[in-house]
Copies of this chain bind each other. A is one copy, B any other.
Amino acid sequence: MKTFGKRTWVIAEGYIPSYGTGPEPEMTSHETVCILNTSNKGAEVELTLFYSDKDPVGPYKIKVEAQRTKHLRINDLENPEPVPRDTDYACVIESSVPIVVQHTRLDSRQAENAILTTIAYSE
């Protein structure tokens, strides 16, 4: 199969609520970066997080195997540091091979869940 996507993606709107309602862990408020690697080579992916009041943090390094998808929970990132809750952030994603990136949030702060998604900005 042909390889699809771009090597750089940007999410301008990030925010992990600090609380939620409903059964754990599916209904915990969370943010997901969904990555698809259609190529025949593993993707070395680096995330850099930007904040409103401090210097960027990163890179967070992850791998996405050849011809696999990875739905990465931002909540689970730990190295170089966990992502603070209730804090605005943005995210630049750079990959060694072309990938496609979509951004999704489940927000369960009030009694029912709300979800949003969008294809990230690519260049």
Contact = CB atoms under 8 A, between A and B. Distances in A.
A11 interface: yes
Given A89-B69, A100-B121, A119-B12, A110 B52 contact: no
A39 to B, nearest CB: 11
A92 interface: yes
Contacts of A22: 110
Interface residues of A, number: 57
A114 B112 contact: yes
A116 B70 CA distance: 20
Nearest to A109: B113
Contacts of A48: 1
Nearest to A11: B102
Interface of A: 1-2, 4-5, 8, 10-13, 15, 22, 26-27, 32, 34-36, 38, 48, 50-53, 55-56, 67-71, 88-90, 92, 100-105, 107-123
